Amino acid sequence: MARFFAASRRISALLLIFAVAACSTVDGDGMTADGIYDPFETQNRRVHEFNRNVDQALLRPTAVGYSSVIPDDIEDRIVNFSRNLQSPSIVVNSLLQGDVPGAGLGVVRFAVNSVLGLAGLFDAATDFGIPQHETDFGETLHVWGVGEGAYIELPLLGPSNQRDTTGLLVDFFTNPLSYVGLDGPASYVSLGAGVARGMSSRGRYVDSVDGVLYGSADSYSQARLIATQNRRFELGQEDASAEIDPFALDTEGF
C-alpha cells in the first residue's frame, strides 16, 4: 500500500507538471469563433463520432431502459451514494484551494450522510440545512492560476479540456477512499455507483442530450460550446446568461 501511495503521488506530480506546461500558454492558432481553444479539432471530431456511435448503440438504450425500470426514488438513492463517496476528494480539493469553510462543509456532509443517511443513500445533510459543496482538482488548478488549455473530447467521458482531464486523473489519487483496501465485489462499489449515476443522468435528460447529439446540424460544435460555457460558469468565469443547458452541469459525459 505504501508503494502504491508513493507511486500515486509521483503520478499526480507528473500530471500537475503536464497540466501547467500544457495549459499555461495558448496562442491564437486553433481558437474558434466562440472563444474556445481547439487545436485538436480533427482528432476530437473522430472521438466525438465514436462517442455518438457508442451512445446510439449502447449508452442511450441502456440508460433509457435503466431509468424506465428503476423507480425514481431508488435512482436518487444511488446518485446520493455516489456523491457521498466523492466527499473526501471534495474536502482535499477545498483545502488545496485554501477554502477552509468548504472543506468543513465537506467533512460535515460526509459524516452526517454516512451515519444518518445510511452510507449516503439519503441526503440527510441537506435535510438538516447543510448546503451542498462540490469541487474537483480541475477547479483546484483553476484557483492556482492554470488555464483551461485545449479543448479535448474524451472517449466515453465526453467534453473536457487539458486542465480538467488532468484533474480527473489526479482526483482518483487524492481521494482517500482510493486507498481503502476492499476485497471482492466491494472493490467495485464506487465504480458501479458512478456508472449508475451516469446512466441516471443520461436517461433523465434524454431529450436534452438527444437534441444536442442528434438534433443539431453540428453536434460536435454544439457539445463543445455547451460544455465549455457551463464549466466556465461553474468556475465563475461566465455570468449566468452563459449557462445554455442545465443538464450539462450534472452529466458525466455524453
Joined grid coordinates for residue 240:
449566468
The predicted structure's pLDDT at residue 184: 52
The predicted structure's pLDDT at residue 242: 47
Return left, alpha or beta for 253; rule: phi > 0 is left, psi -120 to 50 is alpha, else beta: left
d(CA 91, CA 122): 20
Give one DSSP letter per residue of the chain, joined into a string.
-HHHHHHHHHHHHHHHHHHHHHHS---STTB-TTS-B-TTHHHHHHHHHHHHHHIIIIIHHHHHHHHHHS-HHHHHHHHHHHHHHTHHHHHHHHHHTT-HHHHHHHHHHHHHHHHTTTTTTS-HHHHTT-------HHHHHHHTT----SEEEETTTEEEEHHHHHHHHHHHHH-GGGGS---GGGGGHHHHHHHHHHHHHHHHTHHHHHHHHTTSTTHHHHHHHHHHHHHHHHTTSS-GGG---GGGGG-S--
d(CA 19, CA 26): 13
CA distance readout (Å), 63 to 42, 164, 198, 202: 29, 25, 8, 6
- Strand-pairing partners, residue 159, are 153
The predicted structure's pLDDT at residue 249: 37
CA distance readout (Å), 134 to 84, 85, 87, 115, 246: 11, 12, 8, 20, 16
User: How does pLDDT run across 167-215, given as a tens digit for each residue?
Assistant: 998 887 777 666 565 555 545 677 788 889 999 999 999 999 999 999 9
The predicted structure's pLDDT at residue 178: 62
Domain boundaries, the chain: 2-24+56-250
The predicted structure's pLDDT at residue 18: 53
- Name residues of the chain where pLDDT drops below 70: 1-28, 176-188, 238-254
Of 145, 154, 136, 131, the closest CA to residue 227 belongs to 154
The predicted structure's pLDDT at residue 239: 60
Q: Which amino acid type is present at position 95? A: L
The C-alpha torsion from 226 through 229 and 235 to 241, rounded to 10°, is -110
Residue recorded with cell 452529466:
251
Residue count of the chain: 254
